[in-house]
Amino acid sequence: MFDENRHYRHEYKYVEPELKLKAAELRISSFMGKDPHAGDKGFYSIRSLYFDDYFDSFLMENIDGVDEREKWRIRIYDRDTGFISLERKSRKSDLISKDSCRIDEAVFKSIIDGSINVEDKNPPLLNVFIAAAKTRALHPTVIVEYERTPFTAAQGNTRVTFDRNIRSSSELDALLADRELMSRPVLETGQNLLEVKFDAFLPDHIGHAIETGRMRRETFSKYYLTRKFTFNGTSATGHYVGRLLRVHQ
């Protein structure tokens, strides 16, 4: 899975009370710029549909602490169905790499109903996903949704994001719906997430601004936590596995 030719970045995560995160946000806002994608409101919403295989391999690798692992998801921003992104995120310890390609609504629907096939006209990453879907019965498992406040700096190609109101939903058919989904929070009340991503080095002034206040790095997976807690206490996985197996027989 680890490929020396791919671009890997470091990723640090901190789960802290909102009071600490707000103080960190105020500190870094004095020397880091807001990501222009955040617009005038300063944040955007992210809604991701995660996939796993018949044996829940991606989830089990997370639980078992496997050093090299990956996950597949389809993501939209601010409920904008005009920009749908298929993504594969690979991890080795604290190093991450993300591949992505844009898909349209028709392709998304064909993925969900299992009718899509490998074709030369497809982006290469999409064909890799389709092959995995057909051979490993990849299927939707959970939707993860939250609001992100992003900051960027050229030094170290650094990106600092504050993810708030992280929640999960079992409405697996509703990724593109322009409405609130039935969902439940996955962190304790008042707890939110800070993520730091950078290339070869984390600039000292950014690192000091973040870790002032004794914040502690943690192993954190939105996918793992949201798979633990679905809205109705059960998983809708079986419905999709059955459908995919029927389609691919």
- Percentage with pLDDT > 70 across the chain: 89
pLDDT at 232 over 70: no
Confidence of residue 65 (pLDDT cuts 50, 70, 90): confident
pLDDT at 247 over 70: no
Closest C-alpha to 175, from 124, 103, 88 = 103
pLDDT at 195 over 90: yes
Which pLDDT tens digit goes with each residue over 123-174? 999 999 999 999 999 999 999 999 999 999 999 999 999 999 999 999 999 9
pLDDT at 215 over 90: no
Mean pLDDT for all residues in the chain: 88
**pLDDT (0 to 100) of residue 139:** 95
Which pLDDT tens digit goes with each residue over 23-34? 999 999 999 999
Contact (CB, 8 A) for 126 and 101: yes
Four-CA torsion 25, 222, 84, 125, nearest 10 degrees: 120
**pLDDT (0 to 100) of residue 93:** 81
pLDDT at 112 over 60: yes
Instruction: Give Cα separations from 133 to 48, 74, 139, 163, 244 (angstroms).
Output: 17, 13, 7, 29, 8
**Helices 204-211 and 18-28, packing angle to 10 deg:** 150
pLDDT at 194 over 60: yes
**pLDDT (0 to 100) of residue 87:** 98
pLDDT at 242 over 80: no
pLDDT at 120 over 70: yes
List the chain domain ranges. 9-248
Length of the chain: 249
**pLDDT (0 to 100) of residue 62:** 87
Chain Cα centroid distance, residue 90 = 11
Of 51-65, 130-144, 223-237, give the lowest mean pLDDT range: 223-237
pLDDT at 246 over 60: no
Q: What is the mean pLDDT of residues 194-206?
A: 94
CATH number of 9-248: 3.20.100.30
**pLDDT (0 to 100) of residue 119:** 96
Contact (CB, 8 A) for 87 and 72: yes
